[in-house]
Amino acid sequence: MKQILLTILCVCTVFTASAQENNDKVFTLKNGDVTMTVNITKGGKILSLKYKDQEVISQSRFPESFGSTFWTSPQKEWNWPPVPEFDKQTYSVNTEEENHLFITSPVSQRLGLSVGKDFQVDKKDGAIVITYSIKNEGTEPRRVAPWEITRVSNGDGQIGFEAPIDSIWPAGLMTFEQKNGVAWYKTDEAPQNRKVNANGTGWLSYTANGLTLTKKFQDLKPGEAAPGEAEIQVYVNRGKTYIELESQGAYTLLQPSEQLHWPVRWYITQGN
């Protein structure tokens, strides 16, 4: 893990807002050479993450294959497609100031939940920090877990997280190499969709084209994930199209009007 976080890119920070020609409301968060772009109008998604002019996350225009989004877990409660209030509808802007954006989703009538996304810059640590929240808007207690999904291209790259290879399930779907306690998956191609799960140690990384995206989050204890889910998940779409880096927080009981908060720290570093 220390090798992955060698060169933190952060000096000065600027926060700006702009509107695209299609009337989307787009916010840009800058941290030195790192730029994160958020589309408030379309599900509060992170549409772009760049180091200088180099893009890190997927720019595919096919549905559900680009940017970074946020869902509630377990998936069996809503199946598919993603909940529109969280994934596609316009978020409200609660706070808009230098280095700080806080937005909230509409309430999902189906689930009785709402989602918040609080974007801030940590100058000292070199991170862009996203604190997700889920609020119980109903009248009955609800159990739920937070779930971040970031799409990246399936190019010549690799994905890493700390877990024994023999603990990754289902076994045999992807080829992992163990090195210094880290499970590494070199991107490849297959005719079918694949997804694996792991109980990691609170971080997940993706390296390609000389840049590494590392995300740090809560390290779950055994049994804390939602039923059928996991702290770390990697989904590889069939062919050589895109990959999803997925992480989840603890499955939490929320009383009416209660909410959970789950921070994820994003870093971009240079080098492999």
Q: How confident is the prediction along the chain (272 residues), in pLDDT tens digits per residue?
A: 433 333 333 333 343 443 344 789 999 999 999 999 999 999 999 999 999 999 999 999 999 999 999 999 999 999 999 999 999 999 999 999 888 999 999 999 999 999 999 999 998 999 999 999 999 999 999 999 999 999 999 999 999 999 999 999 999 999 999 999 999 999 999 999 999 999 999 999 999 999 999 999 999 999 999 999 999 999 999 999 999 999 999 999 999 999 999 999 999 999 76
* Structural domain includes residue 13: no
CATH number assigned to the domain comprising residue 107: 2.70.98.10
* Structural domain includes residue 8: no
Q: How many angstroms separate the Cα of 164 from the Cα of each of 60, 112, 167, 224?
A: 32, 38, 5, 19
CB atoms within 10 A of CB 238: 12
* Structural domain includes residue 43: yes
* Structural domain includes residue 15: no
Burial label, 202 (beta-carbon count in 10 A; 0-12, 13-18, 19+): middle
Segments in 43-192 forming alpha helices (H): 84-87
* Structural domain includes residue 134: yes
Residue 225's nearest CA partner among 111, 75, 86, 68 is 75
* Structural domain includes residue 20: no
Q: Return the residue matching tokens 């998936």.
A: 75
- The boundaries of the domain holding residue 144 are 26-270
Q: For the chain, what is the domain count?
A: 1
* Structural domain includes residue 114: yes
* Structural domain includes residue 81: yes
Phi-psi category of residue 139: left, alpha or beta, with phi > 0 → left and psi -120 to 50 → alpha: alpha
